[in-house]
């Protein structure tokens, strides 16, 4: 412990990380540097400065990382149509590699001996933060207070604050759930959600109306793609973080993006959580639509076959890994011709694709038509194609191998 002189802490300004600041100071007799990231969580991050100063912190980093987050992490992930276990759009998972990167960079800038985070010893985030940190700075020392201290309840944390005169802000109407928010989603865990049979309370949701209360008239939007990324909405050019913020608003207004799942955590346990991802839900549907007319069949199927592996890599915390880099290179190469526009109809929780067009479209009306194709496709050729593909089946059946 005596070797630790300075620690960079991922700091939110909330109860847990405020306690961690003082605990690090007391336990390691070290200087603490705080790092607070604005990832579009919807709350002011600047108040964290005053809270850190009140705890004696001299070096305080507060950064707006919204554009970098969406441009360099969310968009590359959505090029792969990434979804974990068929439902989860990885909103928490994809934020962790960026935070880990900045923790390491700030440690290098300030000459810190260690980094620290407030993730518990039961969850995935401890793995994600630390795998990222070790990949980027192999010799980094990581301090995870939840794995060291005995302050394992809110009551003990509050008692610790009272003993050491740590100011605690008591907000009226504060959500009882454990929440994590960024521009891609809000997650909810704990309380009634720990019973997988119990329905989530309606007033839990923050970004979306219920589908029952959504407008009775649909909303139409058009998304313009360049190389697999959305660059404009309804013809208006936008930066990456502006795209996602806009889609969150229009999606939430139409009751889009709520899911309630039980997922398999990397650490081994099952966890029930609710997620609100309106913009991401729209993006996934639209991206598959533009790919449907611009990607070669075998390339599209190859992408679909590696997507579950890519999703596991991101979920488990291996963003900064050679396998993710390799997968990403393949995925990004497939996006060269994923250009064009998708028209969507948003209505009471549903995202319906109603149009898609592209100068790079592989859809050929002359061939696909049910009308006279003027010789573009000779239907007689299908007979030989079918017989060749049936050859192994016919041989097996002829040898008495009955499939019934």
Q: Has residue 384 been placed in a domain? A: yes
Q: How far is CA 391 from CA 56, 382, 404, in A?
A: 78, 14, 18
Q: What is the pLDDT of residue 110?
A: 97
Is residue 131 one of the residues assigned to a domain? yes
Whether residues 259 and 343 share a domain: the answer is yes
Residues 58 and 141 in one domain: yes
Task: Mark whether 45 and 149 lie in a shared domain.
Answer: yes
Same domain, 218 and 340: yes
Identify the active-site residue in 175, 178, 321, 361: 178
Does residue 52 lie in a domain region?
yes
Is residue 178 flagged as an active site residue? yes
Q: What is the pLDDT of residues 174-207, one digit of tens each?
A: 566 888 999 999 999 988 999 999 999 999 999 9
Helix runs in 45-120, H state only: 47-54, 66-69, 75-79, 96-110
The catalytic position among 96, 102, 258, 324 is 96
Sorted by sequence, the CB contacts under 8 Å of residue 108 that are 6+ apart come out as: 137
| Rounded (10°) CA dihedral 241, 242, 245, 250 | -150
Q: What's the pLDDT score for residue 170?
A: 59
What tokens appear for 3 in the block?
A: 């070797």
In tens, the pLDDT along 348-389 reads 999 999 999 999 999 988 787 766 666 677 888 999 999 999
Residues 377 and 278 in one domain: no
Q: How confident is the model over 50-64, as a mean pLDDT?
A: 95
Residue 391 shares a structural domain with residue 272: no
In terms of domains, do 223 and 281 share one? Answer: yes
Q: How many domains does one find in the chain? A: 3
Residue 82 lies in a domain: no
Asked if residue 187 belongs to a known ligand binding site, the reply is yes
89 in Cβ contact with 276 (< 8 Å): no
List strands edge to edge, sheet with 340-347: 236-237, 229-233, 219-226, 340-347, 350-357
Are 372 and 286 in a shared domain? Answer: no
> In this structure, is residue 48 part of a structural domain?
yes
Residue 219 counted as an annotated binding residue: no
DSSP-assigned beta bridge partners for residue 143: 116
Residue 373, domain extent: 365-398
The response to whether 144 counts as a known ligand-binding position is no
325 part of a folded domain:
no
Domain match, 205 and 342 both? yes
Count of CB atoms within 10 A of residue 359's CB? 8
In a domain? residue 169: no
- Say if residue 159 is in the same domain as residue 242: no
CATH number at residue 212: 3.90.1260.10
Q: Look at residue 300 and tell me if it is in a domain.
A: no
Catalytic annotation present for 401: no
116 belongs to an annotated ligand binding site: no
234 is catalytic: no
Q: Which of 134, 163, 192 is a domain's end point?
A: 163
Between CA 94 and CA 108, with CA 11 as vertex, the angle to 5 degrees is: 80
Shared-domain flag, residues 47 and 124: yes
Is the same domain home to 31 and 145? yes
> pLDDT digit string (tens) for 129-178?
999 999 999 999 999 999 999 888 778 888 898 888 887 765 555 566 88
Domain boundary residue, one of 133, 163, 193 = 163
Q: What is the pLDDT of residue 165?
A: 84
């Amino acid at each position: 412990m005596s070797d630790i002189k300075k620690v960079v802490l991922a700091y939110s300004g909330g109860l847990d990380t405020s306690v961690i600041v003082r605990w690090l100071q007391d336990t390691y007799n070290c200087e603490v540097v705080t790092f607070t990231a604005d990832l579009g969580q919807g709350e002011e991050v600047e108040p964290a400065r005053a809270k850190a100063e009140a705890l004696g912190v001299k070096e305080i980093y507060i950064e707006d990382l919204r554009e970098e987050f969406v441009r360099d992490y969310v968009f590359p992930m959505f090029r792969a149509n990434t979804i974990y276990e068929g439902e989860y759009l990885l909103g928490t998972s994809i934020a962790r590699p960026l935070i880990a990167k900045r923790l390491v960079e700030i440690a290098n800038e300030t000459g810190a001996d260690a980094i620290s985070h407030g993730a518990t010893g039961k969850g995935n985030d401890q793995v994600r933060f630390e795998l990222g940190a070790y990949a980027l700075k192999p010799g980094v020392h990581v301090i995870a207070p939840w794995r060291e201290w005995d302050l394992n309840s809110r009551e003990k944390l509050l008692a610790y604050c009272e003993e050491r005169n740590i100011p605690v802000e008591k907000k009226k109407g504060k959500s009882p759930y454990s929440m994590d928010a960024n521009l891609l989603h809000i997650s909810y865990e704990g309380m009634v959600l720990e019973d997988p049979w119990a329905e989530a309370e309606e007033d839990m949701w923050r970004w979306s109306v219920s589908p029952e209360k959504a407008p009775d008239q649909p909303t139409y939007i058009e998304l313009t793609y360049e190389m697999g990324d959305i660059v404009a909405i309804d013809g208006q050019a936008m930066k990456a973080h502006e795209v996602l913020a806009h889609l969150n608003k229009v999606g939430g207004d139409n009751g889009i993006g709520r899911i309630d799942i039980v997922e398999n955590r990397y650490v081994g346990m099952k966890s029930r959580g609710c997620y609100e991802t309106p913009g991401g839900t729209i993006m996934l549907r639209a991206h598959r639509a533009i790919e449907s007319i611009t990607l070669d069949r075998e390339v599209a199927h190859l992408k679909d076959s590696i997507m579950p592996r890519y999703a596991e890599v991101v979920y488990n915390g291996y963003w900064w890994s050679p396998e993710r880099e390799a997968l990403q290179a393949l995925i990004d190469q497939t996006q060269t011709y994923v250009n064009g526009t998708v028209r969507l109809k948003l209505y009471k929780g549903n995202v319906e694709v109603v149009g898609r067009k592209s100068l790079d479209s592989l859809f050929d009306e002359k061939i696909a038509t049910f009308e006279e194709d003027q010789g573009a496709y000779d239907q007689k050729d299908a007979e030989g194609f079918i017989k060749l593909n049936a050859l192994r089946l016919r041989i097996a059946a002829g040898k008495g191998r009955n499939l019934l």
